């Protein structure tokens, strides 16, 4: 059997997926179709391991974990049938940068909602550079699917063979047609925001502004990055990160009261400080080790 491709895909897109294609034959793979047409069986993801919990027993552990990327959280489950990943999780302490290869699983309660998780084949500790390379790959992968989806929607009657003739990967062409049939037209602005958040995180000294056009706007062929400008929100995040390093004198995190005093000196009020710190936590750059303290990862 051919090993399935491990998609580089953001949590924001994966968790929005609801369409599952079950294999018709015994041991044939099942696929989760994302709104942008990724036909996912396996994923390669990277981010910050924010928390883990053994919901099983000491004799038969079942690890539940959350890994954060710039767009949201991946939810990981590893037990007796994932012995290597389960053993690795048992030895890991949060927070830390990790990379995970695994298969997607879905759960649907009676109310019809779909919850997506990942059963890891392997989970390893990585450094920040490796996480950033994954973010760039996920941005590139998302961009390709957005352009391919727009190309299919421009056709009077989207046809898989015609998409392949235009140079599209057959798997992606099939996934895009399934996505159009189930989800309809996806919101371009939502996925452009994911790209923007990812690029801003790995290129903190550049002003990344993709314009966030509506669904009737043309997508540019390339992402325009203007290195001469700096976004005000990004400047504030950098400033707060620097304060966290200075105020963390005992290695237990910066007291939030002290951080608020320093922020006020720079004209950052309480409401804006909360917005900035929430953004940093969403991106997996800081966490709250104990109540009332923030620590840079």
Model confidence at 85: pLDDT above 70: yes
Backbone dihedral angles phi then psi of residue 15, each to the nearest 5 degrees: -75, -15
Q: Are residues 74 and 22 part of one domain?
A: yes
Q: Which of 45, 47, 182, 53 is nearest to 103 (CA)?
A: 45
Residue 276 has pLDDT above 90, yes or no: no
pLDDT at residue 297, as a whole number: 80
Q: Do 198 and 154 belong to one domain?
A: yes
Beta pairing, strands 19-21 & 42-54: unpaired
Specify the number of domains making up the chain. Answer: 3
> 22 with 103, same domain?
yes
Q: Which domain holds residue 263?
A: 232-296
pLDDT given for residue 222 in this prediction: 53
What are the pLDDT digits (tens) for 227-270?
A: 333 334 447 888 888 888 888 888 888 999 889 888 888 788 88
- Under DSSP, the state recorded for 53 is E
Reply yes or no on whether the pLDDT at 108 is more than 90.
no
Average pLDDT score over residue span 195-205: 84
Of 226, 259, 285, the last residue of a domain is 226
Q: Are the C-beta atoms of 295 and 286 separated by less than 8 Å?
A: yes
Q: Is the pLDDT of residue 210 over 90?
A: no
The confidence score (pLDDT) of residue 232 equals: 43
Do 219 and 279 belong together in one domain? no
Under 8 Å between Cβ of 207 and 230? yes
Residue 214 domain-assigned (yes or no): yes
Confidence of residue 290 (pLDDT cuts 50, 70, 90): confident
pLDDT at 86: 92
**In the chain, count of helices (H) and strands (E)?**
9, 14
Q: What percent of the chain has pLDDT over 90?
A: 36
What average pLDDT does the chain have?
Answer: 84
Q: Assess contact for 42 and 7: CB atoms under 8 A.
A: yes
Q: Please compute, for residue 145, the number of CA atoms within 13 A of its CA located in the half-sphere on the CB side.
A: 34
- Kindly state the helix (H) or strand (E) to which residue 47 belongs, with its residue range: strand 42-54
Position 211 scores a pLDDT of 67
Q: Residue 201 has what pLDDT? A: 85
Q: Does the residue 1 lie in any domain? A: no
Rounded to an integer, the average pLDDT of 5-19 is 92
In this predicted model, what pLDDT tens digit does every residue of 136-177 receive, in sequence order? 999 989 998 998 898 898 888 888 888 898 888 888 999 999
Q: Among the listed ranges 177-191, 192-206, 271-285, which one has the minimum average pLDDT value?
A: 271-285
User: Binning pLDDT at 50, 70 and 90, where does residue 1 land?
Assistant: very low
140 in the same domain as 215: yes
Out of 32-36, 190-194, 224-228, 284-288, the most confident range is 32-36
- Convert the pLDDT of each residue in 45-70 to its tens digit: 999 999 999 998 988 999 999 999 99
Query: Which has the higher per-residue pLDDT, 79 or 271?
Result: 79
106 with 21, same domain: the answer is yes
Measure Cα distances from 277 to 73, 182, 205, 233, 294 in Å. Answer: 17, 37, 19, 11, 9
Choosing from 101, 126, 151, the residue where a domain stops is 126
Counting every residue, how long is the chain? 297
Of 179, 210, 226, the one marking the end of a domain is 226
Same domain, 191 and 243: no
In which band, very low, low, confident or very high, does the pLDDT at 25 lie, cut at 50, 70 and 90?
Answer: low
pTM metric for this prediction: 0.73
């Amino acid at each position: 059997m051919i090993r399935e491709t491990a998609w580089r895909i953001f949590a924001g897109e994966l968790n929005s997926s609801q369409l599952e294609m079950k294999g018709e034959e015994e041991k044939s793979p099942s696929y989760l179709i994302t709104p942008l047409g990724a036909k996912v069986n396996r994923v390669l993801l990277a981010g910050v391991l924010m928390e883990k919990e053994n919901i099983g027993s000491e004799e038969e552990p079942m690890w539940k974990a959350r890994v954060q990327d710039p767009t949201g959280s991946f939810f990981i489950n590893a037990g007796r049938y994932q012995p290597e990943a389960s053993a690795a999780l048992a030895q890991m302490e949060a927070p830390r940068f990790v990379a995970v290869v695994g298969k997607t699983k879905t759960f649907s309660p009676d109310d019809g909602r779909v919850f997506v998780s990942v059963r890891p084949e392997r989970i390893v500790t990585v450094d920040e550079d490796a996480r950033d390379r994954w973010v760039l790959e996920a941005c590139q992968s998302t961009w390709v699917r957005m352009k391919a989806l727009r190309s299919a929607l421009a056709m009077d009657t989207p046809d898989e063979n015609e998409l392949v003739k235009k140079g599209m990967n057959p798997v992606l062409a099939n996934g895009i047609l399934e996505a159009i049939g189930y989800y309809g037209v996806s919101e371009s602005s939502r996925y452009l925001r994911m790209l923007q958040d990812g690029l801003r995180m790995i290129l903190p000294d550049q002003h990344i502004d993709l314009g966030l056009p509506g669904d009737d706007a043309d997508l540019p062929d390339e992402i325009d990055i203007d290195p001469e400008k700096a976004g005000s929100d990004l400047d504030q995040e950098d400033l707060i990160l620097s304060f966290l390093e200075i105020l963390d004198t005992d290695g237990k995190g910066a007291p939030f009261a002290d951080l608020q005093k320093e922020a006020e000196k720079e004209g950052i009020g309480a409401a804006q400080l909360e917005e900035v710190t929430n953004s940093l936590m969403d991106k997996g750059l800081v966490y709250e080790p104990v109540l009332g303290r923030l620590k840079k990862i």
